[in-house]
Homo-oligomer: A and B are copies of this chain.
Amino acid sequence: MAEKTVTAAILVIGDEILSGRTKDKNIGYIAEYLTAIGVDLREVRVVPDVEEEIVGAVNALRTRYTYLFTTGGIGPTHDDITADAVAKAFGVAIDHDPRAVAILRERYSAEELTEARLRMARIPAGADLVENPVSKAPGFRIGNTFVMAGVPSIMQAMLDNIAPTLETGARMVVETVEAPGIPEGIYAAALGDVAKAHPGVSIGSYPSFTAGGFRNQIVVRSKDPAAVAAAAEAVRGALERLRGDGVPA
């Protein structure tokens, strides 16, 4: 599998996430979305509405991964400082973008297009707009960085517009093996042996509580379908042998 790897990070911007007042719904959504199209999400950060924090995180993440996706802070109010912070991170100017102003003029009458709403047309120099079919005020792409709204329905619509423009790598192939009735602590040694014998495959063990009690799932993951199939088979074999041995529950 010599296919290229495409990586990404997410930067969530917003005091309201850090205060716990708003529960983030974007990280999980973007994570699942990127995984499905063959982009490997490698890191997530959440920072407050503070310019130097946003600038620092944008620069740390955009230089390390193929793509950076930001959410939040692109509305019309004084606390929406993401566009200015991203311009600063890229070292470019920012001003009202004629394309963005035109979009807002279509939505708002001259009287309605307040100075505050015009702030939503502030776009860093050299950026491309990302269409917002929900409430019109656009996101943007500059370099490898996509700046999206924080409201989930708007973010999701923007991501649908961004996805076709992304380079993608091989999709991750995932197989989940249920391990009913066998505690992690019993299959852990055998699972470690399987992991060692299949070095190109990531094997994770995920316990969770459900209404019926503990549930253990073993997740086998790689971009090579044959390697996943072989490792999953080895996991099932190891679990079968443990069952044959009379597993203590």
Q: Does A18 touch B at the CB level, under 8 Å?
A: yes
Which residue, A29, A42, A119, has most C-beta atoms of chain B within 10 A?
Answer: A42
Q: Does A3 touch B at the CB level, under 8 Å?
A: no
Main secondary structure of the interface of A (DSSP, over half): mixed
Partner of A75, one of B15, B48, B207, B209: B207
Whether B19 and A41, one on each chain, are in contact in the complex, defined by CB atoms closer than 8 angstroms, is: yes
- Interface hits, A1-54 → B, CB 8 Å: 12, 15-24, 27-35, 40-49, 53
Residue of B nearest to A27 (CB): B24
- Interface hits, A172-212 → B, CB 8 Å: 172, 174, 184-186, 188-189, 191-192, 195-196, 202-209
Instruction: With A185-B114, A188-B116, A189-B115 as known contacts, state yes or no: A205 contacts B75, CB within 8 Å.
Output: yes
Whether B34 and A192, one on each chain, are in contact in the complex, defined by CB atoms closer than 8 angstroms, is: no
Which residues of chain B come closer than 8 Å to A108, judged between CB atoms? 185
- Once bound together, how far apart are the Cα atoms of A120 and B183, in whole Å? 14
Which residues of chain B come closer than 8 Å to A31, judged between CB atoms? 17-20
- Once bound together, how far apart are the Cα atoms of A24 and B203, in whole Å? 19
Q: Does A151 touch B at the CB level, under 8 Å?
A: yes
Instruction: With A18-B41, A184-B75 as known contacts, state yes or no: A192 contacts B116, CB within 8 Å.
Output: yes
Which residues of chain B come closer than 8 Å to A22, judged between CB atoms? 206, 208
Encoded as 1 (CB less than 8 Å from any B CB) or 0, chain A from 70 to 87 comes to 000001111110000000
